[in-house]
Amino acid sequence: MSNFSIFSESSAREKLAIFLATWGFSGFLPKAPGTWGSLAALPAGALIQFYAGSTGLLIAAIVLFAVGIWCSNVYVSVYGKEDPGEVVIDEVVGVFITLAFVPFTLFWYLIAFALFRLFDILKPFPINLLDRHVKGGVGIMVDDVVAAGYAASIAFALFLLFTLVL
């Protein structure tokens, strides 16, 4: 059964959860859904940072983390997949966290994006353990938060280095 036919047969609550979990269906784009979801997070992150600053991004990340646990659990129950790649709300949270630690410029947004994707894909310790052993909505969300922690730390360190050197 296709994603569309399952979606069309879902309840309104499930449709909302699927829409949020896939970040406006960006997770259904072909090849590398995590990258698509991360890219789709950038405009929303930019708007939040422009109007509410880095604090607003972190608040949005916290809210979306909680929403992400719920909608990921619903998505898993509807589609019967344990850790579906098309669920990208976790990438959105990770991108928002990483963006909160860099200046609001295209250059630093690209650095933040690249570092987050690097850590999300490579999954160094302890991300790899979280990815394998924590299940459900929490498992889907938490490894990306840790990846964002790594990415944000390095992005911020690079920013400080560039600031001090230049």
How remote is the C-alpha of 137 from its chain's centroid?
Answer: 13
Phi then psi for 21, rounded to 5 degrees? -60, -35
pLDDT of residue 1: 47
pTM (predicted TM-score) = 0.94
Distance CA 104, CA 50 (A): 8
* pLDDT tens readout for residues 130-148: 989 999 999 999 999 999 9
Neighbours of 23 (CB within 10 A): 27
For residues 141 and 67, give the distance between their C-alpha atoms in angstroms, rounded to a whole number.
Answer: 10
Sign (positive/negative) of CA torsion 37, 40, 42, 46?
negative
Q: Is 38 within 8 Å of 23 (Cβ atoms)? A: no
Name the residue among 116, 126, 122 with its Cα closest to residue 93.
Answer: 116
Burial class (CB in 10 A: 0-12, 13-18, 19+), 4: exposed
For residue 110, give both structure tokens: 């690209």
Q: Is the pLDDT of residue 106 over 90?
A: yes
Quick one: pLDDT band at residue 8, thresholds 50, 70, 90? confident
pLDDT digits (tens, 9 = 90+) for 49-82: 999 999 999 999 999 999 999 999 999 999 888 8
The chain-wide mean pLDDT, for the chain, equals 94
